């Protein structure tokens, strides 16, 4: 499903905007990559991305971006992104400073739990 | 102030505005964002080059898709898509066109870095290959030219020989006639 016409909510205005600014200052290159990942997420569309949690019936979903298959082989920082189909919004809700590589399966289990908390 | 391009989708506009705001509010981010923009531009240039090679080969997307066992929209996505493109995809696309990617790393100035000897050897190899190709093409043309030349010379020689043969035949006929009359 395309989310190109959804509204992107600026994460600097959100509850973890301050934390995000600090992390961006410490890791500018990774931060720039993460912002590019947002473009990729929108271009790719929901149906082609990775669902971290299933729909809860209220039209809200949480996605891991970059996708799991990318991060599994190339550990990197990642976003948890909430898509609200009812409100037609895309919102970054969480930053994973490092995801993937060895122990990815265990990380995935943890991410699923974390994601559920953002629904 | 974020630059809004009206043709872009709402979400893309929102992300662009966030990117610009982040660059303003986190100065450390500016160089990194410029680097990302360069990376995006590089990917676009690679995609453009693939499309240019395909068109130069006179192959349409559907034919290339068939050669790659893909659909035409998939080929279109490789050429027109955005963001990262896998190296394997690049290689497969080039191979389907009968080409092979030739990659090297350079300084922004253009100087080759890292494996200079390897890069130089690859350049030499490529030059040799092109030279061989040129020689083959040239030899083939030379052979054709030589053949044409020989045919032309033979034709010319034939034309020159014809009057001489006629003269010889006439002389022989006169000689024969003289002999015949002396016998009588």
pLDDT at A111: 92
Instruction: Specify the pTM.
Output: 0.68
Q: Contacts of residue A31 in chain B, CB cutoff 8 Å?
A: 22, 26, 29, 32
pLDDT of residue B2: 44
User: Are both B13 and B68 inside the same structural domain?
Assistant: yes
* ipTM entry: 0.90
Domain ranges, residue A11:
7-116
> Are B140 and B152 in the same domain?
yes
In terms of residue numbers, what domain contains B90? 1-101
Question: Rounded CA gap, B100 and B61, in Å?
Answer: 18
Last residue in a domain, options B67, B101, B135: B101
Q: Domain tally for chain B?
A: 2
Task: Based on the fold, state whether residues B80 and B122 are members of the same structural domain.
Answer: no
Q: Cβ of A42 and B12 within 8 Å?
A: yes
- Are B82 and B113 part of one and the same domain? no
Q: Give A114-119's long-range contacts (Cβ < 8 A, gap of 24+).
A: A114/A80, A115/A52, A115/A53, A115/A62, A115/A64, A115/A80, A116/A53, A116/A62, A118/A62, A118/A80, A118/A82, A118/A93, A118/A94, A119/A53, A119/A56, A119/A58, A119/A60, A119/A62, A119/A82
Domain's final residue, options B63, B82, B101: B101
CATH number for position B46: 1.10.260.40
A97 interface with B at CB cutoff 8 Å: no
Q: For testing the chain A interface, which of B5, B18, B25, B41 should be mutated: the one with the most A CBs within 10 Å?
A: B18
Residue A100 lies in a domain: yes
Task: Please judge whether A31 and B12 are an interchain contact, meaning their C-beta atoms are less than 8 angstroms apart.
Answer: no
Same domain, residue pair B89 and B168: no
B52–chain A Cβ distance below 8 A for any pair: no
Considering the domain architecture, whether residues B170 and B180 belong to the same structural domain is answered as yes
How far does the CA of residue B81 sit from the closest CA of chain A (Å)? 9
Task: State whether B47 and B18 are in the same domain.
Answer: yes
Based on the domain organization, do B35 and B113 belong to the same domain? no
Lowest mean pLDDT among A98-102, B8-12, B21-25, B96-100: B8-12
* Per-residue pLDDT reduced to its tens digit, A73-119: 889 999 999 999 889 999 999 999 999 988 899 999 999 999 988 88
Give the pLDDT band of residue B3 (cuts 50, 70, 90).
Answer: very low
Q: How many structural domains comprise chain A?
A: 1
Is residue A2 in a domain?
A: no
Q: Which of B73, B101, B129 corresponds to the end of one domain?
A: B101
């Amino acid at each position: 499903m395309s989310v190109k016409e959804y509204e992107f909510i600026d994460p600097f205005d959100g509850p973890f905007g301050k934390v995000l600014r600090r992390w961006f200052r410490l890791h500018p290159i990774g931060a720039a990559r993460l912002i590019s990942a947002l473009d990729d997420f929108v271009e790719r569309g929901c149906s082609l991305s990775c669902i971290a949690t299933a729909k809860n019936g209220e039209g809200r979903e949480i996605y891991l971006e970059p996708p799991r298959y990318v991060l599994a082989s190339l550990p990197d920082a990642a976003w948890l992104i909430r898509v609200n189909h009812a409100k037609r919004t895309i919102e970054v809700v969480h930053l994973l400073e490092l995801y993937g590589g060895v122990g990815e399966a265990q990380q995935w289990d943890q991410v699923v739990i974390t994601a559920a908390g953002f629904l | 102030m974020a630059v809004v391009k009206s043709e872009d989708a709402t979400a893309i506009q929102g992300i662009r505005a966030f990117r610009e705001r982040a660059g303003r509010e986190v100065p450390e981010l500016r160089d990194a964002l410029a680097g990302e923009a360069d990376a995006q531009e590089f990917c676009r240039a690679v995609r453009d080059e693939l499309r240019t090679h395909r068109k130069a080969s006179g192959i349409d997307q559907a034919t290339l898709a068939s050669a790659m066992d893909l659909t035409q929209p998939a080929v279109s996505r490789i050429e027109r898509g955005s963001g990262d493109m896998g190296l394997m995809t690049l290689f497969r696309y080039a191979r389907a066109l009968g080409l092979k990617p030739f990659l090297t790393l350079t300084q922004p100035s253009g100087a080759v870095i890292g494996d200079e000897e390897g890069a130089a050897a690859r350049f030499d190899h490529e030059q040799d290959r092109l030279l061989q190709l040129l020689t083959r093409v040239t030899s083939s043309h030379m052979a054709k030219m030589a053949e044409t030349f020989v045919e032309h010379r033979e034709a010319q020689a034939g034309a020159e020989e014809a009057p001489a043969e006629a003269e010889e035949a006439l002389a022989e006929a006169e000689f024969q006639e003289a002999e015949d009359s002396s016998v009588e």
